[in-house]
């Protein structure tokens, strides 16, 4: 068997195409497969405009597609593609060869392989492994993600979680919307204000979803997101998930400690003591904590308040939780009478609990585990690492959809 025939078989070219020549450029470590079309190609080709019969018109310049390596050598398909002309309407077009991928300049198999690598490693590493520039690889990824995202179906979406993610520490946030039933990212928008809701709903409805099909929305206590839900989704019940509520009580405790340490320098070293839960402390730390709890410190009180608050989440029924949380808020106010302004942050948190009580209690009603939203933070960190060097929003969004959107992408 000639090498040309062998490669034609390996590529599965069929009758429409043939390998005219294969060349090995030893110095460049590159194999080139020069492919030509046969007359058979016109048998199935039809005019894309009117469906009419074509005749051969001319050929393009020599085009190149990167294909999977042959042994350890870079392999490229080279072909002057035939252009057809419609016998009916005179329209001319380029015949699409069977090996051509979506992104231009790559074969289908190469694109699928590159996507597999991109799932596993940062873009810079993929670029190194494949010997392709990251500009070309990003174009490949954008093309596939955009096309798969356009096909994504959101018609069954009813429980949505929304959360902000920091692109860089303390700066620049994006909002991520997720389908909590199918555990996938649906949409990401720049910013974290109420304006992201209409953007999300537009995307939802462009993918066959409906705003009034949303029955539960899980989110933090931020007024911006709340405003978005209230204004646009009349059937959605807001759930302030446990993860976000806890994320507010811990900083409140810490702020009390920081305030009190101005007067009580012995608190300076205790930061980590009060941040952790008692079961996570070392023996030494537990002993330290035991000494501190004997003292009359607002920080200790705030710490006990935090533990009691978390404890309420062990309760089974919504009515018991409601009683407990209300009693807890009263207890904080009593504490304020005794300790004064130093407990201010805790009081603020209690006020926020009272204000958002319905949404907080919805946790007991629906038991939507927010594991997906919580896990999303680590997914997002990975996404940031993988797209290092390309911090524009579009790159991050593409990588986020790629990693967590459960899109239908080509696989090897
Ligand atoms: Zn035509």
Residue 114 CA, ligand 1 centroid: distance in Å: 36
Q: Which protein residues have their CB within 5 A of the ion that is ligand 1?
A: 47, 49-50, 52, 86, 88-89, 91
State the distance from the centre of ligand 1 to the C-alpha of 88, rounded, in angstroms: 5
List of residues 6+ apart from 269 with CB closer than 8 A: none
Query: Where do we find the tokens 């304020």?
Result: 336
Residues 108-122, mean pLDDT to the nearest whole number: 94
- Paired with 301 in beta bridges are none
DSSP calls for 206-223: HTT--GGG--EEEE-S-H
CA–centroid distance, residue 85 to ligand 1 (Å): 8
Looking only at Cα atoms, what is the longest distance across the chain? 95
Q: Which of 374, 11, 19, 58 is nearest to 218 (CA)?
A: 374
- The alpha carbon of 62 and the centre of ligand 1 are apart by a number of angstroms equal to 25
Cα distance between residue 263 and residue 321, in whole Å:
36
Ligand 1 centroid – CA 92 distance (Å): 8
How remote is the CA of residue 150 from the centroid of ligand 1, in Å? 28
Ligand 1 centroid, distance to 54 Cα (angstroms): 8
Residue 177 bridge partners (DSSP): 162, 187
Tens digits of residue pLDDT in 159-195: 999 999 888 776 788 999 999 999 999 999 998 888 9
Least reliable range by pLDDT among 206-220, 235-249, 273-287, 320-334: 273-287
Q: State the DSSP H helix or E strand holding residue 55, giving kind and residue range, or none if neither.
A: strand 54-70
User: What is the whole-number distance in angstroms between the Cα of residue 34 and the centre of ligand 1?
Assistant: 30
Comparing 289 with 253, the larger pLDDT belongs to: 253
Instruction: Please determine, for residue 243, whether its predicted confidence score (pLDDT) is greater than 90.
Output: no
pTM of the model: 0.88
Distance 97 CA to ligand 1 centre (A): 20
CA of 53 to the centre of ligand 1 (A): 7
- CA 328 to chain CA centroid, nearest Å: 37
Q: Are strands 184-190 and 173-179 parallel, antiparallel or unpaired?
A: antiparallel
Question: Which tens digit of pLDDT belongs to each residue from 40-56?
Answer: 999 989 999 999 999 99
CA of 40 to the centre of ligand 1 (A): 19
CA distance 193 to 190: 9
Cα–ligand 1 centroid distance for 102 (angstroms)? 24
Asked whether 312 and 321 are in contact (CB, 8 A), the reply is: yes
Question: Is 111:102 a contact under the CB 8 Å cutoff?
Answer: yes
- In a 3-state reduction of DSSP, which class is residue 365? helix
Ligand 1 mean position, distance from CA 84 (Å): 10
Task: Kindly give the distance from the C-alpha atom of residue 48 to the centroid of ligand 1, in angstroms, as a whole number.
Answer: 7
Measured in Å, residue 267 CA sits from the centre of ligand 1 at: 82
Does residue 24 contact residue 31 with C-beta atoms inside 8 Å?
Answer: yes
Pairing of strands 30-37, 54-70: unpaired
Distance 44 CA to ligand 1 centre (A): 14
How many Å from the N-terminal Cα to the C-terminal Cα in the chain? Answer: 27
Strand-strand pairing, 73-86 and 54-70: antiparallel
Q: Contact, 38 vs 16, CB < 8 A?
A: yes
Q: Which residues contact 239 (CB under 8 A, 6 or more apart)?
A: 216, 217, 218, 219, 359, 362, 363, 366, 368
Q: DSSP for 289-316?
A: HHHHHHS--HHHHHHHHHHHHHHHTT--
- The position carrying tokens 């405790």 is 253
Per-residue pLDDT band for 330 (boundaries 50, 70, 90) equals very high
What is the CA(94)–ligand 1 centre distance, in A?
13
Q: How far is the CA of 43 from the centre of ligand 1 (A)?
A: 15
Q: Rounded to the nearest whole angstrom, what is the distance from the C-alpha of residue 230 to the centroid of ligand 1? A: 52
Task: Dump pLDDT digits (tens) for 190-237.
Answer: 988 889 999 999 999 999 999 999 999 999 988 889 999 999 999 999
Average pLDDT, the chain: 92
- The percentage of the chain sitting over the pLDDT mark of 90, rounded to a whole number, equals 73
pLDDT(369) > 80: no
What spacing in Å lies between the alpha carbon of 81 and ligand 1's midpoint? 19
Give me ligand 1 centre to Cα 86, in Å: 5
């Amino acid at each position: 068997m000639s090498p040309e025939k062998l490669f034609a078989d390996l590529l599965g070219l069929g009758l429409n195409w043939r390998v005219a020549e294969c060349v090995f450029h030893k110095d460049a470590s590159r194999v080139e497969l020069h492919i030509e079309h046969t007359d058979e190609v016109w048998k199935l080709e039809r005019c894309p405009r009117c469906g009419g019969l074509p005749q051969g018109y001319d050929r393009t310049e020599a085009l190149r597609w990167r294909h999977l390596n042959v042994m350890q050598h870079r392999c490229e398909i080279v072909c002057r593609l035939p252009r057809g002309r419609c016998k009916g309407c005179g329209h001319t077009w380029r015949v699409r060869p069977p090996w051509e991928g979506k992104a231009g300049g790559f074969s289908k198999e190469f694109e699928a392989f590159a996507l597999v690598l991109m799932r596993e490693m940062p873009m810079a590493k993929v670029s190194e492994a494949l010997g392709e520039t990251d500009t070309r690889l990003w174009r490949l990824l954008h093309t596939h993600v955009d096309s798969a995202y356009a096909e994504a179906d959101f018609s069954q979406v009813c429980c949505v979680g929304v959360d902000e993610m920091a692109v860089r520490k303390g700066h620049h946030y994006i909002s991520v919307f997720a389908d909590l039933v199918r555990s996938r990212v649906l949409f990401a928008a720049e910013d974290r204000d109420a304006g992201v809701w209409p953007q999300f709903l537009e995307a939802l409805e462009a993918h066959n979803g409906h705003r009034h099909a949303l029955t539960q929305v899980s989110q933090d206590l931020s007024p911006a997101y709340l405003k978005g839900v209230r204004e646009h989704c009349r059937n959605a019940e807001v759930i302030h998930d446990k993860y976000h509520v806890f994320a507010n009580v811990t900083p409140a405790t810490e702020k009390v400690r920081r305030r009190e340490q101005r007067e009580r320098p012995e608190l300076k070293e205790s930061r980590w003591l009060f941040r952790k839960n008692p079961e996570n402390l070392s023996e030494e730390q537990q002993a330290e904590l035991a000494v501190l709890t004997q003292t009359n410190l607002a920080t200790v009180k705030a710490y006990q308040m935090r533990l009691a608050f978390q404890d309420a989440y062990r309760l089974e029924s919504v009515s018991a939780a409601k009683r407990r949380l209300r009693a807890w808020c009263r207890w904080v106010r009593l504490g304020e009478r005794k300790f004064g302004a130093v407990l201010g942050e805790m009081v603020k948190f209690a006020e926020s609990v009272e204000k958002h009580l319905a949404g907080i209690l919805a946790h007991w009603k629906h038991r939507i585990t927010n594991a997906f939203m919580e896990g999303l933070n680590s997914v997002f960190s990975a996404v940031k690492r993988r797209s290092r060097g390309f911090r524009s929003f579009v790159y991050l969004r593409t990588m986020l959809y790629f990693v967590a959107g459960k899109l239908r992408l080509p696989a090897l």
